[in-house]
Amino acid sequence: MHKHVIHEAASRLSAIALSEIVQISEKARALRAEGRDILAFSTGEPDFPTPPEVIEAAHRAALDGQTGYPPTAGSPRLRAAVAEKHGRTPVEVIISTGAKQVLANAMLATLGPGDEVIIPAPYWTSYADIVRMAEGVPVIVPCGMESGFKLMPEDLEAAITSRTRWAMLNSPTNPSGAVYSAQEFAALAAVLEGHPRIWVLSDEIYEHLSYAHFTSFTEAASKLQERTLVVNGVSKAWSMTGWRIGWGVGPAALIRDMTAVQGQVTSGACSISQAAACAALAMGPEILAERRASFEARRDLAVAGLNAMPGLDCPVPEGAFYCFPSCAAFLSGAGGFESDAAFCEWLLETAGVALVPGRAFGMPGHLRLSFAYAEAQIADGLARMKDALEHLPACPPGADNTDADDGQSPDRT
C-alpha cells in the first residue's frame, strides 16, 4: 500500500511567517504580469551598479584560481582588511555570507531556548525571526516617532530580565532612518554596564549611508567592547547585495563559536566575493560620498513629496534609504482602513505603488518607502500616491479624529 509522506516543519519554524516584504513583492509581480504598470518602492537594495573595479577584482580572482574552499572564518586578506578598518585583530573578525548570516551565527552560537533578545521597534524584519529560529524570545520595545524611533535608556532598563542575553541595536536604522549620536549610545551603554551578562549587537550595515554624523557603538561605549559584536558588510554601501559578504567584529571567543556554527552551515563565504569585497574596501571614499549625496537628494525629494500629502507625517530620516511616515490618519474614523497593510494593499491596487506596511517592522501605523530608486521614479510614484489619496472618498486626512473609535490605530496603544 502506497504511503503518503507528510512534511512536518520543525517547531522552531512555527512562529516564523512568510516575510511581508516578499508577499508585497509577489503581489506587485502578479499585477505586473497582468499588464499593470507597478512602481515598487519595497526593497532595500541600492539601484547603483557594483563598481567596475570590484567586478574586475572578482574576475581576476577567478582566473587566478581562487576557486577552492576558503577558510571558514574568511580569507586572511579580507579578515585583515576588516580588522584594520575596525582597529582590531583578524581573530576578532568573521566573514560571512551577508550581514544576515553574521546575525544568524551569533544567535545560534549564544541563545538557548527562552533566552531573550531586546529589539527596539521598528526593526529590520529579520531580527525577530532569526532570534525565534535560534529558539530565543524577541522582546520588542516600541520606540515611536516621539522618541525619534530611538531606544530610550529607561525603556531599555525596563525591558531587561534575568533571561536577557542581547540588545540588538541598528544605526542608521532600517526602516526609520534614525541615527544614534555618541551621547545616545553612551546613555544606553550606561544602562548595560550594570548588566554584565548582556551583550550588544550593533548592526552598522548603513554606516556609509548616514546623512548625520555616524558613530559606531564601540566608539561611544568602549567599556562594553568585550561584549559587543559589530555587524557590517559591503552589501549596501558598494551596491553588492548579491555578492553576499558581511562581517562580524567582536571578542575572539565569540568569533570562534560563530565560526563553528558557520562551519556546519555554509563553510567559508564565496571566495570570489571575498576578493571583490577586498577591492571594495580598498577603494577611496569618493564613490561612497558620491552615492551618499545622491541618496540624500532622493531622500529630500521623497520626504517633501510625502509630507505634501495630507494625512501622512514623515520625519526626515538621517540615514539609510527609507522613509517611514505615519499613516495613522488613514486608519481611524469612519471610512478608515483597518490596518496599515490594508492601506498598502489599496495603494498598490489604486496607485500601482508598492510600499511595505509598518507592522512588518513591528510598528503598525506606518509605511516604509525605499528611496533607493531614480529621482524620476520617486517623483512618479509620489504623484500617483497623491492623486489616489486625493480621490479617496471617505478618508478623513487632516480631519479631527480625536473622538473617533480608533481602536485600530496601533500607534496609540
Q: Which residues contact 5 (CB under 8 A, 6 or more apart)?
A: none
* Minimum distance from residue 191 beta carbon to ligand PLP (Å): 22
CB count, 10 Å around CB of 63? Answer: 9
Of 99 and 178, nearer to ligand PLP (C-beta) is: 99
Taking residues 68 to 107 in sequence order and writing x for each that binds ligand PLP by CB under 6 A, - otherwise, the string is ------------------------------xxx-------
Choice between 159 and 205, CB closer to ligand PLP? 205
- Of residues 39, 44, 82, 95, which one binds ligand PLP by CB under 6 A? 44
Give how many residues touch ligand PLP by CB under 6 A: 13
Q: Which of residues 220-239 bind ligand PLP (CB under 6 A)?
A: 233, 235
> Under rule CB under 6 A, which residues in 258-317 are in contact with ligand PLP?
none
Q: What's the Cα-to-Cα distance from 368 to each of 21, 43, 44, 173, rounded to whole Å?
A: 10, 10, 10, 12
Identify the three-state secondary structure at position 231. Answer: strand
Q: HSE of 159 in the Cβ direction (CA atoms, 13 Å)?
A: 28
Q: Is 366 within 8 Å of 326 (Cβ atoms)?
A: yes
CA distance 412 to 406: 9
Q: Which is nearer to ligand PLP, 320 or 347 (CB)?
A: 320
Decide if residue 179 touches ligand PLP (CB under 6 A): no
- Nearer to ligand PLP (CB atom), residue 100 or residue 298: 100
The x, y and z cell numbers of residue 60, run together, are: 581576476
Q: Cα separation of 89 and 80, whole Å? A: 7
Binding flag, residue 246, ligand PLP (CB under 6 A)? yes
Residue 2 CB, nearest distance to ligand PLP (Å)?
43
Using CA atoms, how far apart are residues 406 and 409, in angstroms rounded to an integer? 5
- Residue sitting closest to ligand PLP (CB): 98
3-class secondary structure, 138 = strand
Give the residue carrying C-alpha cell 532598563: 157
Shortest separation between residue 180's beta carbon and ligand PLP, angstroms: 13
The H or E element spanning position 83 is helix 76-86
Q: Determine the length of the chain.
A: 413
Contacts with 262 (C-beta within 8 Å, 6 or more apart), sequence order: 72, 73, 94, 96, 101, 105, 268
Please report, as residue ranges, which positions from 112 to 131 form the binding site for ligand PLP (by CB under 6 A).
124
- Residue 170 lies near ligand PLP (rule: CB under 6 A): yes
324 belongs to the binding site for ligand PLP (CB under 6 A): no
- Regarding 203 and contact with ligand PLP (CB under 6 A), the answer is yes
We find the least distance from the C-beta atom of residue 320 to ligand PLP, in angstroms, to be: 7
Binding residues for ligand PLP (CB under 6 A): 44, 98-100, 124, 170, 174, 203, 205, 233, 235, 241, 246
